[in-house]
Structure 1
Amino acid sequence: MAMLSSELVGGLAGDNTASAVYAAQAGRMVKLKKFFLRKKLGEST
């Protein structure tokens, strides 16, 4: 667990590309969730 947290801190401090990729994936997930919610709402009405 300590190793994982130190890797996380190191990644946050040093590796901007990894955090950028993570942010892009998180944004994509939000878009997908909104898309599916809109589909569900469209089907229910």
Structure 2
Amino acid sequence: MRDIEIDSEEASPYECFECGTIIVAEDNPGHCPDCGGQMRNRQTPIE
């Protein structure tokens, strides 16, 4: 795995764990606007 510098002011794609909706935002939207599921930053690897 390689190190990635994350720019907090740069928009990032967030994906819903439940329905797969993708939103591009500067901050984590928290919950999916479609189903209410948890969102994750797609640039952060899942271990």
Q: Taking structure 2 as the reference length, what is the TM-score of the superposition?
A: 0.27
Q: Taking structure 1 as the reference length, what is the TM-score of the superposition?
A: 0.28
Larger strand proportion of the pair: 2
Larger helix proportion of the pair: 1
